[in-house]
Amino acid sequence: MSNTTQTINEQDQKSVTNKRYLPLLLVNYGFLFIGSLSSSLLSKYYFNHKGSSRWVSTWVQSAGFPLLIIPIVVPYYLFKSTQRKPFTGFTPKILALSIFIGFMLGVNNLLFSWGNSYLPVSTSSLLLSSQLVFNLILSVIIVKQKITFMNLNCVILLTLSSVLLALESSNDQPHDVTRTKYFIGYLATIGAGLLFALYLPIMEKVYKKVYCYAMVMEMQMVMEVAATVLASIGMVFDGGFTEMKREGYQVFDKGEKVYWATVVSNVVSWQLCFMGTAGMVFLTCSLTGGICLTALLMMNVVGGVVVYKEEFGGVKVVSTVMCGWGFCSYVYGMYVKNKMLKDRDDGGGGGHDSDDKNVGSYNPIEMTQIVNSSSSSSPPLHIGV
């Protein structure tokens, strides 16, 4: 297979006209849905039953990186569905970027654990939605995201839902958490949201040079390794590994077996969450990924109420409704825009503008022209899919 054909096949993974695009998008959103909901509930379950180490909670968020070997090696070695060997074209620059972003992700994980240890799941989930307004601002700066009525309306609604919650936060303070600890948890959760808002557009910027889903998973694996190294260093200095054994034997009030089941389940659920997030950013854009993740926080709110019997007063009801309203309006806008793009492609319309990437759209005809015009110069970065 020629380099030209191979590059077209890789780039076409992002095309809405590719028959694999929609299934891949749905699978990643499924991972994001299951991972986001279960990881949030399991993290709170750990702290509710006398688990106390924030480093342990941080470590489990990235320690499941070996699971990423499955989507990396299985398509090539088992299914023979790709001609690209794992880590082909993984340049030193991409490696360095992945390690740097991984360390940033490790700090984000620590902030999330700190906030989740003090706040109810529903409160923490709604506060994390505040990252959207910063996501939009940083997306405009980093990846030149266009501000439209569709995305601006969604960001405003989701952000207002967080503001409403903040105004009534004192009514939601757990009885065993002091006002100081509650405030620390509040700030830590906001910090985690802000850092994640920076993480998403940076990833979109990097993914612009990546046209292969397998390489997205490879980069994600390197990031998770870096985040795990950071968490492991904290575990060593804070006695986290020793504490983990002691918690399982003596502290965790549900018993040792349930403790380790909780730890393992946390490891798996967090990997599903991060895999889904990376896939959504790769297939759509950072803002869409952030909006989908924020919308799923509604389910975390409901999950906290159902599983942990948390209060669900008028403020949380209004916040949840606003969150759902904003998300549904954005999804409908994406649907209308994608339909218009497909109709234009079917009718032989002109080229796409730069904003079409934001809904995962690429024109295979334009790709062919670009690749053919450049095939006599430098070789493509990635090889075959």
Separation of alpha carbons 176 and 97, rounded Å? 42
Separation of alpha carbons 258 and 264, rounded Å? 10
Q: What is the percentage of the chain residues whose pLDDT exceeds 90?
A: 25
Cβ(292)–Cβ(359) under 8 Å?
A: no
| Mean pLDDT score, 207-224 | 89
Nearest to 283 by CA among 203, 184, 345: 203
Q: Give residue-wise pLDDT tens across range 232-282.
A: 999 998 888 888 888 888 889 899 999 999 999 999 999 999 999 999 999
Q: Which tokens in the block code for residue 21?
A: 């695009």
CB atoms within 10 A of CB 317: 11
Type of residue found at 26 = L
Tokens 């780039």 correspond to: 11
DSSP for residue 148: -
**Any alpha helices (H) in 119-170, and if so which ranges?**
121-128, 131-142, 149-167
pLDDT for the residue numbered 52: 81
Residue ranges covered by each domain of the chain: 8-346
Instruction: Indicate whether 43 pLDDT > 70.
Output: yes
pLDDT for the residue numbered 273: 93
Instruction: Indicate whether 146 pLDDT > 80.
Output: yes
Count CA atoms within 13 Å of residue 355 on its CB side.
11
pLDDT for the residue numbered 16: 57
Mean pLDDT of the chain: 79
Q: Give residue-wise pLDDT tens across range 326-385.
A: 888 888 887 787 778 777 777 654 444 444 444 433 333 233 333 333 333 333 333 333
3-state secondary structure 331-359: HHHHHHHHHHHHHHHHCCCCCCCHHHHHH
pLDDT for the residue numbered 168: 60
Separation of alpha carbons 60 and 153, rounded Å? 35
CB atoms within 10 A of CB 369: 12
Type of residue found at 337 = K
Q: Which helix or strand (DSSP H or E) is residue 381 part of? A: none
Q: Where are the beta strands (DSSP E) in the chain?
A: none
Separation of alpha carbons 376 and 108, rounded Å? 43
Which residues, at least 6 apart from 256, have a Cβ–Cβ distance to it below 8 Å? 248, 249
Q: In angstroms, how far is the first alpha carbon of the chain from the final one? A: 10
CB atoms within 10 A of CB 63: 23
Count CA atoms within 13 Å of residue 250 on its CB side.
5
pLDDT for the residue numbered 83: 81
Q: Who has greater pLDDT, 45 or 335?
A: 45
pLDDT for the residue numbered 27: 92
Cβ(267)–Cβ(63) under 8 Å?
A: yes
Q: Which tokens in the block code for residue 152?
A: 């601006």
Q: Which tokens in the block code for residue 19?
A: 């028959």
Instruction: Indicate whether 138 pLDDT > 50.
Output: yes
Q: How far is CA 275 from the centre of its chain?
A: 7
Nearest to 194 by CA among 117, 245, 123, 134: 134
Q: Which tokens in the block code for residue 233?
A: 């260093």
pLDDT for the residue numbered 188: 92
Cβ(367)–Cβ(378) under 8 Å?
A: no
CB atoms within 10 A of CB 257: 10
